[in-house]
């Protein structure tokens, strides 16, 4: 799957602690010399970095650090104990996606730091310079007297060089379903978007933006800020300091604990990424995000093929049919002695009609929503655990017959698992649900997490849910199932590592054109999405 073109490594350069700190300036330049990153420590041992493009500063001197529960901050009093530089030039193959082969060529700088005073904690920084941008992440290495990090905040700073034109959505801890605003950086006001009447679940605690957030300088340079390889960590928003033209990482938290990330040492944080492009189109051509992820862990995934699909979905949004079949309040018997209310959309007959249309129009898939029991009580109820059953169909829907008919017509069924954000229910049923799909030859599922997360107090983009989404993908792979997640955590390039991570929703999509009181999506919305949200990965 992977063809290595060239690997060149330079030996580690160990710097003694007695050297003058001013002589310890370290820097790295991208393979063609386009972009560079410089790192150093201030007089009081505070780490900072600076980014240049074509020798012009694009990210000014920016600080780095962390706050912890029950431990001192880690943002000064440090010394450099070792540095090394590495180069990698490889070409790897995408199992599906924008192109067959992807070049991954970067120069890397590794800087090992240690506190000058007790408890002498250690932290290592990895900087990578690509021709299409730069990235860096932190490592908390194994060390004495520190086995677990309870991170209350990460202080990664991005100091801008001007009041750039910015395309942004607010730093919402629950959704990405906001219209993009186009303003100067100093005009960002995310808090104006809080409690939006069209949004079912939203929480915006700070004047922050979600990533990717893209900008254009007065000179026409394009920048986009995001993160890559978000694993067992909290999602990052960027808090806006308009007065100082600065953004600082603001991690998504939880109401259930007084820290935002809990990790056992050793561990790596996600990559903090800055895509840098002379034109807007070059942002789209960038492979920075996927390149920063680990290689494919699934090997052959020929069982999955991307396709267009139709869906028993839009008619529900238009009010022509319903997701629910029609049950009594006790959820134990059917209304009218087993007869539905007459508007249920996911019937065998309707599914076959969609399959016929798909086959006639060379569309390879059919998504059926509302096929399984539980839709009568899926939203608006405080206790939604145990509501959905992901293997039991409604009486007017024959799952196996629909699958058989679809195969006969060359149309593959796409499963639907709406969890109503009841995570424990879905966890308990995943193996059974994925096994059913595998038995029937169904290789993709659209998952959904509408509503407030259960357990209460968790948010869609916090560490708890990051792990929920990623663990579902890993488990689904063992059953040859690919996941298209709705109400998801943002894409961060993990489709390289787990190629059964296919498109995600994570944006204000088509359904808003059916019922949004503000008139739906304006024409400019989707073009902006191409240069913002879609830089993270495919959308549905």
So which residues are the catalytic ones? 511
Among all chains, which residue has been given the structure tokens 């959505």? 169
Q: How far apart are CA 418 and CA 424, in angstroms?
A: 13
Integer Cα distance of 363 and 354 in angstroms: 10
Beta-carbon contacts of residue 451 (< 8 Å; ≥ 6 apart): 200, 201, 379, 384, 420, 421
- The residues, any chain, with a CB within 8 Å of residue 147's CB and separated by 6 or more, are 264, 265
Q: Give, in order, the Cα–Cα distances in Å from 209 to each of 159, 185, 196, 266, 450.
A: 15, 11, 16, 30, 21
Block residue for tokens 């509501």: 387
Burial of 329 from C-beta contacts in 10 A (0-12 / 13-18 / 19+)? exposed
Report DSSP state, residue 180.
P
Q: 275: part of which helix (H) or strand (E)?
A: strand 271-277
Strand partners, 90: 4, 104
Instruction: Measure CA of the first residue to CA of the last residue in the chain; give whole Å.
Output: 27
State the Cα–Cα distance between residues 497 and 515, nearest whole angstrom: 37
For residues 68 and 81, give the distance between their C-alpha atoms in angstroms, rounded to a whole number: 23
How many Cα atoms are found within 13 Å in the side-chain-facing hemisphere of 253?
15
- Within 469-537, strands assigned E span 482-485, 501-504
CB neighbours of residue 154 within 10 Å: 22
| Angle, CA 439 vertex, CA 433 and CA 442 arms, to 5° | 75
Alpha helices in 280-372 (DSSP H): 280-285, 288-291, 314-317, 348-360
C-beta neighbour count of 110 within 10 angstroms: 18
CA 12 – CA 26 distance, rounded (Å): 13
Task: Please report the DSSP string for 101-132 in residue order.
Answer: EEEEEEEEEEEEEEESSTT--EEEEEEEEETT
Residue 18, number of CB atoms within 10 A of its CB:
6
């Amino acid at each position: 799957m992977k063809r290595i073109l060239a690997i060149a490594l330079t030996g580690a350069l160990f710097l003694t602690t007695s050297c003058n700190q001013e002589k310890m300036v370290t820097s790295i330049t991208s393979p063609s010399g386009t972009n560079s990153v410089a790192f150093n420590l201030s007089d009081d041992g505070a780490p900072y970095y600076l980014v240049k493009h074509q020798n012009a500063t694009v990210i000014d001197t920016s600080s780095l650090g962390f706050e912890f529960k029950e431990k001192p901050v880690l943002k000064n009093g440090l010394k450099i104990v070792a540095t090394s530089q590495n180069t990698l030039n490889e070409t790897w193959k995408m199992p599906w996606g924008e192109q067959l082969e992807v070049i991954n060529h970067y120069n890397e700088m590794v800087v090992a730091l240690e506190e000058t005073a007790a408890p002498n904690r250690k932290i290592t920084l990895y900087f990578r310079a690509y021709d299409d941008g730069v990235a860096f992440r932190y490592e908390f290495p194994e060390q004495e007297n520190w086995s677990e990090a309870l991170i209350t905040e990460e202080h990664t700073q991005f100091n801008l060089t001007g009041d750039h034109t910015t395309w942004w959505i607010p730093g919402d801890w629950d959704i990405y379903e906001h219209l993009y605003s186009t303003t100067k950086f100093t005009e960002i006001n995310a808090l104006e978007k809080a409690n939006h009447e069209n949004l079912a679940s939203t929480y915006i605690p700070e004047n922050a933006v979600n990533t990717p957030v893209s900008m254009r300088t007065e000179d026409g340079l394009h920048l986009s800020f995001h993160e890559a390889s978000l694993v067992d960590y909290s999602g990052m928003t960027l808090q806006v300091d308009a007065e100082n033209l600065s953004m600082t990482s603001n991690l998504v938290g939880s109401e259930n604990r007084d820290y935002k990330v809990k990790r056992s040492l050793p561990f790596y944080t996600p990559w903090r990424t800055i895509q840098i492009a002379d034109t807007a189109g070059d942002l789209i051509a960038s492979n920075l995000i996927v390149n920063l992820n680990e290689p494919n862990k699934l090997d052959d995934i020929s069982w999955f093929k991307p396709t267009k699909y139709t869906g028993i979905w839009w008619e529900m949004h238009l009010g022509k049919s319903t997701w629910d079949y029609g049950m009594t309040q006790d959820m134990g018997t059917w209304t009218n002695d087993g007869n539905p209310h007459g508007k249920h959309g996911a019937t065998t007959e309707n599914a076959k009609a969609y399959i016929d249309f798909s086959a006639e129009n060379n569309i390879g898939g059919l998504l059926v929503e509302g096929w399984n029991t539980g839709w009568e009580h899926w939203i608006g109820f405080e206790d939604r655990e145990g509501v959905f059953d992901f293997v039991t169909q409604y009486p007017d829907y024959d799952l196996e017959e629909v699958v058989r008919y679809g195969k006969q017509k060359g149309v593959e069924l796409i499963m639907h698992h709406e969890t109503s954000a009841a995570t424990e229910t879905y966890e308990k049923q995943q193996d059974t649900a994925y096994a059913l799909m595998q038995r029937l030859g169904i290789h993709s599922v659209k998952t959904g997490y509408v509503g407030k997360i259960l357990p209460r107090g968790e948010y869609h983009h916090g560490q708890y849910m990051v792990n929920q989404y990623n663990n579902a993908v890993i488990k689904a792979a063992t059953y040859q199932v690919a996941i298209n997640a709705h109400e998801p955590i943002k894409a961060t390039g993990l489709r390289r590592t787990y190629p059964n991570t296919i498109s995600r929703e994570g944006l204000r999509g088509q359904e808003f054109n059916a019922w949004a009181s503000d008139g739906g999506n304006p024409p400019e919305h989707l073009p902006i999405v191409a240069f913002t949200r879609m830089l993270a990965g495919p959308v549905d």
